[in-house]
Amino acid sequence: MTALYLASGSPRRRELLTQIGVPFSAVSAPIDETPLPGEAAPAYVERLARAKAAAGLASLASPGVVLGADTAVVLDGVILGKPENREQALAMLGDLSGREHQVLTAVALTDGQRQASLCVASSVRFRAISFDEAWRYWASGEPADKAGGYAIQGLGAVFVTHLTGSYSAVVGLPLSETAELLEKFGIACWQSLEGLAAR
Q: What is the pLDDT of residue 197?
A: 47
Q: Could you report the per-residue pLDDT of 86-125, keeping only the tens digit for each? A: 999 999 999 999 999 999 999 999 999 999 999 999 999 9
Q: What is the pLDDT of residue 193?
A: 73
Residue 61 to residue 176: CA distance in whole angstroms = 30
DSSP state of 142: G
Write down the catalytic residue from 32, 70, 95, 111.
70
Residue type, 28: S
70 is annotated as an active-site residue: yes
Q: What is the mean pLDDT of the chain?
A: 95
Strands 4-6 and 100-110: unpaired
Q: What is the value of pTM for the model shown?
A: 0.93
Average pLDDT (60-71) is 96
Q: What is the pLDDT of residue 198?
A: 45
DSSP H or E stretch at residue 112? none
